[in-house]
Amino acid sequence: MQQIDLREGARRQHRAISLFAVIQCWMGNLEGVVFRRRDLERLIGLERFKEKRMDWLQEDLRELFPYQLEFCKDSFQLTNALKLVH
């Protein structure tokens, strides 16, 4: 039961991040964004998070950003936001 609660809480945080990213893309007329791990740590409010949390994040952001590219373990790119906004 605790794992389900943890996952649902993470999903809600990730939804807020994805909406923030969509708005930034729309305002800046951008087709995508890049998140660095340290930026995600600040946005989520964690000093560290495990690889499973990154997997959850990418899964949850896929709804609004279906094309994702992981540059390295410290950052990944989300693209195709404008097509979803219009």
Task: Identify the pLDDT of residue 77.
Answer: 64
Q: Are strands 67-72 and 75-79 parallel, antiparallel or unpaired?
A: antiparallel
Q: Are strands 75-79 and 32-36 parallel, antiparallel or unpaired?
A: antiparallel
Task: Identify the pLDDT of residue 84.
Answer: 38
- pLDDT (tens digit, 9 = 90+) per residue, 27-82? 988 888 888 878 888 888 887 778 888 889 889 999 898 888 777 666 666 665 44
Q: Is the pLDDT of residue 24 over 70?
A: yes
Domains (range + CATH), the chain: 2-85 (3.30.1370)
SS3 category, 71? strand
Task: Identify the pLDDT of residue 14.
Answer: 92
How many Cβ atoms are within 10 Å of 41's Cβ, its own excluded? 13
Largest CA distance in the chain: 42
- CA–CA distance, 46 with 14 (Å, rounded to integer): 13
